[in-house]
Amino acid sequence: MKAEYDFSKGKRGAVLPASGNKVRITIRLDHDIVNWFRAKVEEQGGGNYQSMLNDALRKYIDRQDQPLEETLRRVVREELRSAR
């Protein structure tokens, strides 16, 4: 190991750039929310809890754009399935 290293040309930030569609943010979430997503990832045998959280947010947004009739039909179908 060297006694000194030259970091004069070093750059701050991630070593690898983020993918084109992703944005790095800082967000504060409740511990139980983060722990729930981490536990789900562990149950599935691995993965990334942040990706799972992103997918959950996307599904929520997609459902907000659904017409009320479609949402009601989906809920009725789910309830009928669980009643069998």
Does 7 map to a domain?
Answer: no
Range of 72's domain? 31-83
User: What are the pLDDT digits (tens) for 56-82?
Assistant: 999 989 888 888 888 889 899 999 999
Does 64 map to a domain?
Answer: yes
Q: Measured between alpha carbons, how far is 55 from 60 in angstroms, rounded to an integer? A: 9
- Total number of domains constituting the chain: 1
Percentage of residues in the chain with pLDDT exceeding 90? 54
Contact 52, 33 (CB under 8 A): no
pTM above 0.75, yes or no: no
Does 70 map to a domain?
Answer: yes
Does 57 map to a domain?
Answer: yes
Does 39 map to a domain?
Answer: yes
Contact 40, 49 (CB under 8 A): yes
Does 53 map to a domain?
Answer: yes
φ/ψ of residue 62, rounded to 5: -60, -40
